[in-house]
Chains A and B, each alone.
Chain A
Amino acid sequence: MVAPPDNDVLWARALHVKHNGSPALSGVSLGVRVGEILAVGGPRGSGKTTLLRCLSGQLLPQQGEVWFNSTPVHTMGPHTRERLRRDRFGWIDPAPVLVPELNAWENAALPLMLRGVGRRQAKTTALEWLERLDIGGCARRRPYALLQAERQRVAIARALVPAPTVLFADEPTAPLHRVESASVLRTLTTAARSHGITVVLATHDADTAALADRKVSLLDGRRVNTVHLPPATETESEGRAACSLSA
Chain B
Amino acid sequence: MLALRLARGARPAVQLRRFLVAVASAGTGFLLLCALGFAMGHPHDSSAAALRLAWCLAPLAATVQFAVAVARTDPATRPRSGLSAIGLGPGRLMLLAAISTAVSCTLGSVVALLCVLHLRGDLSGLPFDGEASELLAGNQPLPLAATLTLLALVPLAASLASALALRPREGRPSGAGRTRRTGTRAAATEAGGSGRDAHPDAPGPPVEPHPAPRPTPTGLPWGVAVLAAGLAVETYASRSGPASGPALPGSLAGGSVGVLLGWALTTLGLAMAGPALTHLSGRLLQAMRPGALRLLAGRILMEEAGRIGRPLGVVCAVASGAYAMAALHADARPEVGPLTVLGVLLVAGCAVGTLLTAAVEAKHARADTTAALLGLGAPATLLRGAAALRAGALLAVLGPLTWAIAGLAAVPLAD
Contact = CB atoms under 8 A, between A and B. Distances in A.
Given A114-B382, A119-B289, A119-B290, A106 B295 contact: yes
Interface in B289-318: 289-292, 295-296, 299-300, 302-303
Given A58-B190, A89-B377, A93-B183, A101 B209 contact: no
Interface string B59-97: 000000000000000000000000000000000000000
Interface residues of A, number: 35
**Chain B CB within 10 Å — which of A59, A87, A93 has the most?**
A93
Contacts of A93: 183-184, 372, 375
Contacts of A114: 292, 376-379, 382
B148 interface: no
Contact of B369 (A59, A96, A99, A119): A99
Nearest to A123: B289
Interface string A78-117: 0100111111010101111111111000100011011000
Contact of A100 (B290, B292, B303): B303
A122 B216 CA distance: 28
A102 B295 contact: yes
Most chain-A CB neighbours within 10 Å: which of B210, B211, B213, B290?
Answer: B210
B13 interface: no
B291 A97 contact: no
A99 B373 contact: yes
A58 B186 contact: yes
Nearest to B299: A101
Contacts of B201: none
A34 B300 CA distance: 39
Nearest to B380: A82
Q: Is the interface of B mostly helix, strand, loop or mixed?
A: helix
B53 interface: no
Nearest to A146: B210
Given A94-B183, A99-B369, A100-B210, A111 B303 contact: no
A29 B122 CA distance: 75
A151 to B, nearest CB: 7
B198 interface: no
A113 B292 contact: yes
B171 to A, nearest CB: 13
A142 B302 CA distance: 14
A97 B371 contact: yes
B377 A83 contact: yes
Interface string A165-177: 0000000000000
Interface in B170-210: 181-184, 186, 189-190, 209-210
Contacts of B296: 99, 101-102
Interface in B93-111: none
B221 to A, nearest CB: 25
Interface in A103-146: 106, 110-111, 113-114, 119, 142-144, 146
A73 to B, nearest CB: 14
A158 B378 CA distance: 13
A114 B386 CA distance: 13
Interface in B236-267: none
A87 to B, nearest CB: 8
Contact of A58 (B182, B302, B373, B375): B375
Contacts of A146: 210
B212 interface: yes
A102 B377 contact: no
A178 interface: no
Contacts of B292: 110, 113-114
Interface of B: 181-184, 186, 189-190, 209-213, 289-292, 295-296, 299-300, 302-303, 368-369, 371-373, 375-380, 382
19 contacts: A58-B190, A58-B375, A59-B189, A83-B377, A85-B377, A86-B378, A93-B372, A95-B181, A95-B209, A96-B210, A98-B372, A101-B213, A101-B296, A101-B303, A102-B295, A111-B376, A119-B290, A144-B210, A144-B213
Given A58-B186, A102-B296, A110-B292, 16 more contacts: A59-B189, A79-B379, A83-B379, A85-B376, A87-B377, A94-B182, A97-B372, A99-B296, A100-B210, A101-B303, A102-B299, A111-B376, A114-B292, A114-B376, A114-B377, A144-B210
The 5 A-B residue pairs whose C-beta atoms are closest, nearest first, are A86-B377, A101-B299, A113-B292, A97-B372, A85-B377
